[in-house]
Structure formats: C-alpha cells, structure tokens
Amino acid sequence: MKSTIGILAFSLIVLPAVAGHEASSESDRLQRAEAVLKASLEAPDKGIPLDALEKAECVGVFPDVKKAAFVVGGEGGTGVFTCRDERGVMGAPAFFKIGGGSVGWQFGGQETDLVLLVMNDDGMKHLLADRFTIGAGATATGGPVGRTLEAATDAQMHAQILSWSRSQGAFLGAALEGRVISFDTKANLAVYGKDLTAKSILLEHKVKPTPEATAFLKTLNAKSARG
C-alpha cells in the first residue's frame, strides 16, 4: 500500500514537471522559428519573396536542423507549420519533425534553417496527413530568392511546396527529396494539453494560439496578409 502511494505521489510531482519542460522547449522552438522568419524577410536581395508568402496557404519553419537529421533513419529536425483560417490569418501553429532521406548533406554546413511554403490545396492534403515524404506524392521545389516572384520559373509558380535553406547566411532554394515530415504528437500534446491531429490544428483550427506563439504569428501575419 505504501509503495502504491509513493508511486502516485512521485507521478504527481514528476509528470507535471516533464510536461512543463516539454512546453518550455516548444516555446524555445517558436522563438527560434521567429528569428529565422525575420531573417528570411529582412535579407535585402536574397530573401524569400514577400508575394510568395502572400500566396502561401501554410508556412513551415524548421530552425537549426542538424546534419544527423538527414542520415538514413535519423531524426532531429523540429519546427512548426501554421495555416490560414477562414479570415486568411495564420492560426495556431502545429509542431512537426523532419528527417530521413539519403545519406549526405546538401546544404553545405553542419546545421541549417529551413522554410517551407505550402502553396495550394494539393500541398495541404499531404501536410494534413500527419506524415508524408517529399517526392512520394508530395513535391517540393526550391523556391526563388529576391523581393518578388518575378524570377520564379513556371515549375516554382505551380509547385505544391516551395522550400528554402540557410546554412551560411543567405537563403537558397532547397531540394528536399526523400525527407520525411511528421506531426510531433508529443510536442503538440505538451503545448495544447490534448490529443490533436495536424488537421484539427491547421485546418479546423480547434485550438487557439498560445501566448508563446504571439510574436511568431505577429511577424508572419504582418508580411503574409492578402489584399
């Protein structure tokens, strides 16, 4: 009996502490994502075109993705996606992981920042599936750089997902073939306190943004507003 009581008491102390730690780490993830987003918008001539953001249905930011995340079977890259609500405003972010793919590092550094724009309904279908592989149905095309989309090719203009990487200052269009993007169930549970799917957060908007997401969403919505 005493053993059972001890275990229950331990759980009451430890589990909230673990949940608090998880929520804190996701807050850090949002802060880093905002920093990457600002860098992509403030680059004078090598940033992400603002009209690409205006056209995007969803925006994903993965800061500090480690080289190990792209070794076969590896994990380690984490980030967030947010999608527009019925008003056209980017809503509560969902937490995701990125990994997998072929052995090798295509971005020229030990870690890199990634920005992905989901441009249409076909791209959103993959994102809302909780897990998808780029190249296996979902297509990601390296995005153009500059202040506008004037230099974009026809393939870029009709892509499901546009992607960029930054490993040494400048943002460049990135090929992400074979990369696996998956919904981070544990992180979303820690932040929102209940079991959710990518669809329930990003399309159905069943949760409101947390205070920790305010700065990230404010920066993004200021630059991605339509009309």
pTM: 0.81
Helices assigned H by DSSP within the chain: 2-42, 50-55, 121-127, 154-157, 185-192, 198-202, 214-224
Of 24-33, 71-80, 153-162, minimum mean pLDDT range: 71-80
Q: State the total domains in the chain.
A: 1
Range of 43's domain?
3-224
Write down the residue that tokens 């009996």 correspond to.
Answer: 1
Residues 161-192 pLDDT 10s? 998 888 666 667 777 877 889 999 999 999 99
Residues 101-114 pLDDT 10s? 543 444 444 678 88
Q: Which residues contact 156 (CB under 8 A, 6 or more apart)?
A: 141, 142, 143, 144, 149, 162, 173
pLDDT at 105: 42
Q: Tell me the two tokens of residue 194.
A: 């209940």
